[in-house]
Amino acid sequence: MHLFTSESVFEGHPDKICDQISDAILDAMIKDDPKCRSGCETFVTTGLVLVSGEITTSTYVDVAQVARGVIKDIGYTKPEYGFEYRTCGVLVAIDKQSPDIAQGVNKGGAGDQGLMVGYACRETPELMPLPIMLAHKLARKQAEVRRSGDMPYLRPDGKCQITVEYNEHHPKRIETVVFSTQHDPDVEHKDLKNDCIEKIIKPVLERYVDKDTIYHVNPTGKFVIGGPVADAGMTGRKIIVDSYGGSVAVGGGAFSGKEPMKVDRSAAYMARYIAKNIVAAGLADECELQLAYAIGIAEPVSIFVDTHGSGTLENGYLKDLIRELFPLTPRGMIKHLNLERPIYRQTACYGHFGRTEPDFTWERTDMVEKLKEEAGKRPKVRRVVLT
């Protein structure tokens, strides 16, 4: 038996505000200019939004209007929240992409060096680790009841954390739930805790909680001051939340604000797509994949695949299949996954993986049959059973 924990953060968390603004700006550009280059970074603090980075585009985007629209959509619409979409200042400090970088990217090379990780396993129908999937579903549920008015005293900021008890490698039950949500000042803690457990936590986690599950709801007793007033935020600070919840290694770069010629994003999506198809094809119960790139070079400099002993093929054969069946250059990945579209703001909350929305093309399992066909031509793993 062992315990493993993952967390998610709500859409009003300062770092997630920044991710959403950066990706909303990218969407506004890529809609009219699919070949734009974007490394958009956002910073928020009390009363201030700073949008910066390196952007090259042929279209015009009203950055301040986009930023205010995101903040309004999230729910920072009242002055008493301390951060409000109409009154916060928006500063813009954007420059063009360096021509030294552009000369390598424009010919089809990777936008930077780096390593990207993809992963899939059989713990959930989404082929994702259970703790991070449950944490994201809990965060979504908070937004749902807040927006519906079912719990009208909730505010946008917050985070949650799920600790799962495993028997061997199989999830058994939830040991601990940590749920911290911003709220109006006039609600009693006991009422908030009861409502959160009954209206948010149990409906989402009912299958896995039991009489011994521990609940920590707003464990300090009070969470009125939140959002950028309570804590500064920046784009790209939640890469473990965005990926696999710490179940496996993470790559070197964040996702939000980056157009897909940047392999930080496109190769991370392709790595997930490959790993998911391998598991869905029955070639492994668990698959971890690393792709590594050099700036200006199109093909990856290395491919590492590890099925943690669960594969039907040797890892070396799987690596050969990956090279044969999947495009791994930036342009090849963009075309295969149809990434030059305004699809990115929706990725900026509740994780980039394990999603069912149609725009998440890297979650398709359309390579399963081809993988099965080609895998059938390779020798299977010989396992020795010790007696």
pTM higher than 0.85, yes or no?
Answer: yes
Cα 55 from Cα 384, distance rounded (Å): 55
Residue 276 has pLDDT above 50, yes or no: yes
Cα(61)–Cα(51) distance, rounded to whole angstroms? 12
pLDDT in tens, 134-188: 999 999 999 999 999 999 999 999 999 999 999 988 999 999 999 999 999 999 9
Q: Which helix (H) or strand (E) holds 323?
A: helix 315-325
**pLDDT bracket for residue 112 (50, 70, 90):** confident
Domains and CATH numbers, the chain: 2-10+130-224 (3.30.300.10), 14-101 (3.30.300.10), 114-121+236-375 (3.30.300.10)
Which residues are known catalytic residues? Answer: 13, 15-16, 41, 54, 159, 223, 231-232, 237-238, 258, 262, 264
Chain-wide mean pLDDT for the chain? 94
Give CA–CA dist 270/117, Å, rounded. 9
How far, in Å, are 177, 218, 221, 355 from residue 360 at the CA level?
A: 28, 33, 38, 7
Tens digits of residue pLDDT in 240-274: 999 999 999 998 789 999 999 999 999 999 999 99
pLDDT number for residue 251: 85
Written as six digits, the tokens of 81 are 């929240």
pLDDT in tens, 11-51: 999 999 999 999 999 999 999 999 999 999 999 999 999 99
Mean pLDDT confidence for 349-356: 97
- Provide the pLDDT confidence category of residue 382 given band limits of 50, 70 and 90: low
Q: Considering the chain, what percentage of its residues have pLDDT values greater than 70?
A: 97
Q: Provide the edge-to-edge strand list for the sheet that holds 114-121.
A: 114-121, 286-293, 302-306
Coil vs helix vs strand at 364: coil
Give 158's strand partners: 181
**Alpha carbon distance 209, 289 (integer Å):** 32
Measuring CA to CA, which residue among 306, 263, 278 is closest to residue 115? 263
